[in-house]
Amino acid sequence: MTTIRGVAASGGNHPRKPAVNLDAVSKTIIELLQHDGRKSYASIAQQVGLSEAAVRQRVQRLLDADVMQIVAVTDPLQVGFQRQAMVGLRVSGDITPVTDALSAIDEVGYVVTTAGSFDVLAEVVCEDDNHLLELLTTRIRALPGVTATETFVYLKLNKQLYNWGTR
């Protein structure tokens, strides 16, 4: 069995969630939901050999521990957002206040601490170029500790999958 500890979405020095044991059945449930997040508990139960109620409980434990999320993933262009970008940030001092502040911005959907040229990467989704410019100028570059940014504007979404399975 593998033990995974989920952490709060905002990262940083926040308390850890309770440990979740990922046995083969839980891993199979995750993989089935990665392929079809709308798959019924009854269908999953048949495939993993548990009752529908047991599957429901396992899924809820995985959700509560932040091991997984079940969400609708959209193509931003199809729902009115004309500009996506990845913003690389260089930060002086403690990175945590910057990552926490970025995580609180509605337009930011992804924040990671990195090693290399940038300390932090943040993916943003904006209505248009003016919205992106306002976001960068008044809210991201203005964060205390941010010393430099570099913006990589997306021209086309070529692939976006979340079905990498489990280990």
pLDDT band at 8 (very low <50, low <70, confident <90, very high): very low
The pTM assigned to this predicted structure is 0.76
Would the pLDDT of 72 be above 90?
Answer: no
Helix, strand, coil share of the chain (percent; to 5): 35, 25, 40
Distance, C-alpha 28 to centroid of its chain: 21
d(CA 133, CA 151): 10
Q: How far is the C-alpha of 71 from the C-alpha of 61, rounded, in Å?
A: 16
| Residue 121 φ/ψ, nearest 5 degrees | -120, 135
Write out the H or E segment, with its range, that includes residue 90. Answer: strand 83-91
Q: What is the dihedral of CA 125, 130, 134, 137, to 10 degrees?
A: 100
Q: Model confidence over 110-136: pLDDT tens digits? A: 999 999 999 999 999 999 999 999 999
Q: State mean pLDDT over 142-159.
A: 94
What's the pLDDT at 59?
96
**What would the pLDDT profile of 15-62 be if each residue is shown by its tens digit?**
556 667 799 999 999 999 999 999 999 999 999 999 999 999 999 999
